[in-house]
């Protein structure tokens, strides 16, 4: 599957050198298939426990789904907390939101330790009602978040107009989110451990998995890898050997502008998104660019040419201009990418239902990086035989609704 087309901000502005190829060890504790943010965070969590890890990617580290990631990090799901309560029950829903909130803190802590700085910056989020009919949903979400101890403000139209150059019927301000360069975060993590505990193998294709009684053989274009466990962290690409996960694949579009001279009217440079589906979402970069995305379409096929990407990019620019009419926006980068969403808007994380040595971290949904942090810790505990009560919320086989 072609995961993206167009010119990407993260990889084209700052291309990184390849990782030096290591000699393949006789045995690894864990082989991770996928060198994006999911695989990197898994490697981090496991290598910190002293395990020997191999990370295999068919391309460059961070060059798959991660390279098209816009780098917005939020604890709020695409499904509001009060709605998620109706899907999986109040206790699990609140716990899931809390897990995501904690994951943001953990990502911050990891970013602070890296030699390669990934431009991790804490931001608040502004979630506005796209239509007046959506205001009641925002009010209910405000009440629910407040009741469970999440810091949130409810803004009226007047409040919004007093702080920003656009008007919408209402908005929520949530606190403690963040932005990041996801490619540099992935590469920074793997460079930090490589080659002491983590061996990175770029441009290596996995041909098959053979599970034996006490180990797994991973057959690749670079020869066999023998290990105790395998984790598939393949982003929105196909996850081998897994069926029954209910996922909708779409395509989404994004732009990054040339630096804007003056962003002072964008108070606190909050992350911005909206209640309409599909929604528009926006952030800024340290050098003053605007990144914006949306216009999701019900097909996983990325455009073969530049014409459609250019049309959608101009449409996104117009939507940004409606919010910030004083900006002189010039598109510098524009791309289309595959986006995956589970039917219940939760990621799939856990052990294969019938194979004891095969695990998956599939961060489907709008918060893939946050879900990857959650999943890396769950898989670490499962592999090390530790209790992981949160694993039940995101397990691979689950119904659409769970009773409390």
Has residue 376 got a pLDDT over 70? yes
Has residue 300 got a pLDDT over 90? no
Has residue 340 got a pLDDT over 90? no
Has residue 233 got a pLDDT over 90? yes
Q: How far is CA 49 from CA 42, 80, 193, 373, 376, in A?
A: 11, 35, 12, 16, 12
Q: How confident is the model at residue 402 (pLDDT cuts 50, 70, 90)?
A: very low
> 14-52, pLDDT tens digit by residue?
777 889 988 999 999 999 999 999 999 999 999 999 999
Burial 364-384 (b: 16+ CB within 10 A, else e): bbbbbbbbbbbbbbbbbbbbe
Has residue 400 got a pLDDT over 70? no
CATH T-level fold of 247-342:
D-Amino Acid Oxidase; Chain A, domain 2 (3.30.9)
Strand 358-362 and strand 223-232: pairing? parallel
> 159-199, pLDDT tens digit by residue?
999 999 999 999 999 999 999 999 999 999 999 988 889 99
Q: How confident is the model at residue 403 (pLDDT cuts 50, 70, 90)?
A: very low
The C-alpha angle with vertex 206 and arms to 204 and 211, in degrees rounded to 5, equals 140
pTM over 0.75: yes
Quote the tokens at residue 292. 């914006």
Domain boundaries, the chain: 4-69+183-245+345-392, 247-342
Has residue 359 got a pLDDT over 80? yes
Select from 3.30.930.10, 3.50.50.60, 3.40.309.10, 3.10.450.50 the CATH code of 4-69+183-245+345-392: 3.50.50.60
Distance of CA 267 to the CA centre of its chain: 25
Instruction: Quote the pLDDT of residue 399.
Output: 64
């Amino acid at each position: 599957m072609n995961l993206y087309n167009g010119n990407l901000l993260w990889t084209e502005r700052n291309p990184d050198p390849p990782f030096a190829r290591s000699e393949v060890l006789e045995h690894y504790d864990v082989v991770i298939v996928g060198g994006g943010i999911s695989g990197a965070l898994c490697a981090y969590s496991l290598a910190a426990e002293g395990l020997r890890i191999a990370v295999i990617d068919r391309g460059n580290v961070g060059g798959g789904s991660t390279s098209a990631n816009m780098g917005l990090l939020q604890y709020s799901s695409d499904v509001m907390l009060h709605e998620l309560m109706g899907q999986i029950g109040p206790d699990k829903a609140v716990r899931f939101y809390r897990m995501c909130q904690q994951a943001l803190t953990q990502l911050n802590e990891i970013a602070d330790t890296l030699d390669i700085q990934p431009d991790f910056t804490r931001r608040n989020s502004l979630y506005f009602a796209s239509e007046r009919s959506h205001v009641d949903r925002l009010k209910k979400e405000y009440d629910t978040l407040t009741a469970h101890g999440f810091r949130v403000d409810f803004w009226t139209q007047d409040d919004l107009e007093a702080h920003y150059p656009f008007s919408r019927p209402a908005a929520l301000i949530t606190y403690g989110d963040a932005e990041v360069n996801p490619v540099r975060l992935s590469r920074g993590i793997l460079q930090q451990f490589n080659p002491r505990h983590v061996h990175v193998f770029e441009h290596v294709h996995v041909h098959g998995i053979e599970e034996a009684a006490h180990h797994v053989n991973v057959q690749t274009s670079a020869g066999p890898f023998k290990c105790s466990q395998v984790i598939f962290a393949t982003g929105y690409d196909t996850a081998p050997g897994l069926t029954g996960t209910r996922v909708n694949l779409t395509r989404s579009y994004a732009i990054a502008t040339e630096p804007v001279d003056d962003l002072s009217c964008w108070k606190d440079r909050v992350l911005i998104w909206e209640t309409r589906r599909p929604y528009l979402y926006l952030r800024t970069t340290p050098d003053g660019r605007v990144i914006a995305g949306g216009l999701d379409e019900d097909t996983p096929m990325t455009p073969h040419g530049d014409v459609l990407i250019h049309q959608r990019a101009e449409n996104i620019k117009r939507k940004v201009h409606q919010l910030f009419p004083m900006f002189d926006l010039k598109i510098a980068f524009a791309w289309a990418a595959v986006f995956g969403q589970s039917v219940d808007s939760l990621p799939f994380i856990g052990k294969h239902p019938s194979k004891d040595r095969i695990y998956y971290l599939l961060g489907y949904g709008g918060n893939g990086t946050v879900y990857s942090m959650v999943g890396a810790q769950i898989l670490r505990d499962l592999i090390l035989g530790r209790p992981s009560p949160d694993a039940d919320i995101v397990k691979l086989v689950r119904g659409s609704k769970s009773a409390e």
